[in-house]
Structure 1
Amino acid sequence: MTSYNGPAHYGFAERWLPRLVLAPSLVLTVVFVYGFILWNGYLSFTRSRLLPNYEWVGTAQYLALFENERWWVAVHNLVIFGGLFIGGAMAMGILLAVLLDQKVRQEGALRTIYLYPMALSFIVTGTAWKWMLNPGLGLEKLMHDWGFTNFTFDWLVNPDMSIYTVVIAGIWQSSGFVMALFLAGLRGIDDSIIKAAQIDGASLPRIYWKIVLPALRPVFFSTLMILAHIAIKSFDLVMALTGGGPGFSSDVPATFMYSMAFTRGQMGVGAASATMMLMTVAAIVVPYLYSELRGSRHG
């Protein structure tokens, strides 16, 4: 009996123990992620204001959202921030990766320095840049102390320019992460390809532009998805750096949603804006997942 039950018992434990270990986290994820997503979606169709109200009002909250001027300012800011943040971080990260790929001295130290900002939270980044860009405390005051009294840099308190301070801080934080991704991709390319192109007389910039970077298309796509996801969810960086101000000139959908749902007592409108953000993220992530699954299936 022992020789029979032993292997059977071991096989049962081997099959079910991992499932039992993962079950609590799976249940928590289903309830507190997908469950609350569904709950938020339902609230966006109700008369909820300061507290949840389950009286169904159809698309009234979405109509109120689209008629809200502040929402369109937030969407406009997201377009500006997303475009400049993604483009700037990609350009800076690729440039750093190409430079480090030349086997420069102290590469490890430089790589650590460039990657270090990504280890900081967006709250720390926003606070630090808020100090540096404060006209009475940071860069402008420093230049005045050095004798450049005509120098001005008041973007942080200028409603027309405040969103660009968020772009600067975001690029500073994320370009090192992009560098690490592209540097890993560059190190995976066979050196013989570059040497063969050099023998044919191609210059190094042309080799990277025409041969190396096109071969990193999967890295481009993955990096684009990650940065777009960060841009859409941006909340803590904006709150720490500008607080959505001056006024609501640097609002983005995430800060708009927080303000509507938790400070202005318009939970239904906040839920509608959160649902719109979710749909935007899904529009980016779902095609990416589909392409990855399709590629792995054909591979």
Structure 2
Amino acid sequence: MAPARRWLQHNLSALIMAPTAAVTLVFVYGFIAWTVYMSFTGSRMMPVYELIGFDAYTRLWQMERWGVSIRNLLIFGGLFMVLNLALGLLLAVLLDQRIRFEGTLRAIFLYPMALSFIVTGTVWKWMLNPGLGLERSVHLLGFTSFKFDWIIDPDYAIYTIVIAGVWQTSGLIMAMFLAALRGVDQDVVKAAYMDGASMPQIYWGIIIPSIRPAFFSAIVVLAHLAVKSFDLVIAMTNGGPGYATDLPSIFMYAMSFQRNNIAVGSATAVMMLCTVMAIVVPYLYSELRPGRRHD
């Protein structure tokens, strides 16, 4: 009985984690493998398991709508990441000054992240609607020449998605940067201050370079959110006007469930997975490689 008890004590954690690992293996990695396989078939409404090569990928890159979604991803992803990093860092630096009501302000900035993207998209859709939102409110104040109809303009609608996305996630990035700032060695900061360095010089030359890991983490989080953005776009514009605000996730949904083209939809999902991996794998390598020097 004693050996069995010792074995149980030694392997208890593995036994507890085994069901979760099995479920993850089947419903995450198993379905990833199934999706990759489907992308090399000619599946339409129903799966077809005969492999035909890269035909789905060829058709995918020949579609004008896919080109639009890629362009929108570059615009949305680029602005979404840059604005979030800049605004999040600025807010974190301001809160790091130990100002009054810091806890209240931190909660206010973090509150949008507690909302779902569906709620955020719906609210911003109302706010940016020319007939009943911001433009209408300004007109009622007497400024009838004011115009802000980006959400119905095919050339500018994607930027309204950026506005809503940054509003929701900048508080999260602020919290990540603030936690990193609070972990900086204050002795180094005090020494620089005693040497005559100004506060902007201390932040720019000492503090911000020392929180480089927080930047890497924030970039990975933001890139992941940008690539898989779906519900925010659906709630705000539903991909419109036309398909002017299509992103790869919207395109994949349309191909798989509206156009009944499983093969092309699967190929889209594989391309999205490759995009995420291109961002995450270098980050993981830089963080986990043997011999990495920890600052």
1:18-33 matched pairs, under 5 angstroms: 18-33=13-28
Aligned with residue 259 of structure 2, among 258, 264, 274? 264
1:202 is displaced (CA, Å) by 2.1
**1:191 paired to 2:186:** yes
**1:52 paired to 2:80:** no
Q: Which residue matches 2:217?
A: 222
Deviations 1:93-124 (A, max 9, x none): 00000000000001001011101111111111
1:262 is displaced (CA, Å) by 0.5
Aligned with residue 204 of structure 1, among 190, 199, 202? 199
The count of residues paired between Structure 1 and Structure 2 equals: 294
Q: Which residue matches 1:166?
A: 161
- Write the distance in 2 (CA, Å) between the matches of 1:296 and 1:131: 53
Unaligned runs of 5+ in 1: none
**1:153 paired to 2:148:** yes
- Write the distance in 1 (CA, Å) between the matches of 2:129 and 2:202: 43
Q: Which residue matches 2:274?
A: 279
Give TM-score, length-normalised by structure 1. Answer: 0.95
- Write the distance in 1 (CA, Å) between the matches of 2:170 and 2:75: 18
- 3-state DSSP of counterpart to 1:257: helix
- Write the distance in 1 (CA, Å) between the matches of 2:35 and 2:263: 9
Aligned with residue 177 of structure 2, among 176, 182, 205? 182
Deviations 1:51-110 (A, max 9, x none): 111232211110000000000100000000010000000000000000000000010010
1:20 is displaced (CA, Å) by 2.3
1:203 is displaced (CA, Å) by 1.9
Deviations 1:1-29 (A, max 9, x none): xxxx34x3331221233222222211111
Q: Which residue matches 1:112?
A: 107
User: Which segment drifts farther, 269-278 or 191-200?
Assistant: 191-200
Deviations 1:178-211 (A, max 9, x none): 1101101111112232232223332212221111
1:297 is displaced (CA, Å) by 6.5
1:286 is displaced (CA, Å) by 1.0
Aligned with residue 126 of structure 1, among 121, 129, 147? 121
* Aligned partner letter, 2:151: L
**1:38 paired to 2:33:** yes
Aligned with residue 10 of structure 1, among 5, 15, 29? 5
1:296 is displaced (CA, Å) by 7.0
- Write the distance in 2 (CA, Å) between the matches of 1:42 and 1:10: 44
1:42 is displaced (CA, Å) by 0.7
- 3-state DSSP of counterpart to 1:173: helix
Give TM-score, length-normalised by structure 2. Answer: 0.96
- 3-state DSSP of counterpart to 1:176: helix
* Aligned partner letter, 2:35: N
Q: Which residue matches 1:239?
A: 234
Aligned with residue 99 of structure 1, among 94, 102, 115? 94
- 3-state DSSP of counterpart to 2:211: helix
1:293 is displaced (CA, Å) by 1.4
Percent pairwise identity? 59
Q: Which residue matches 2:77?
A: 82
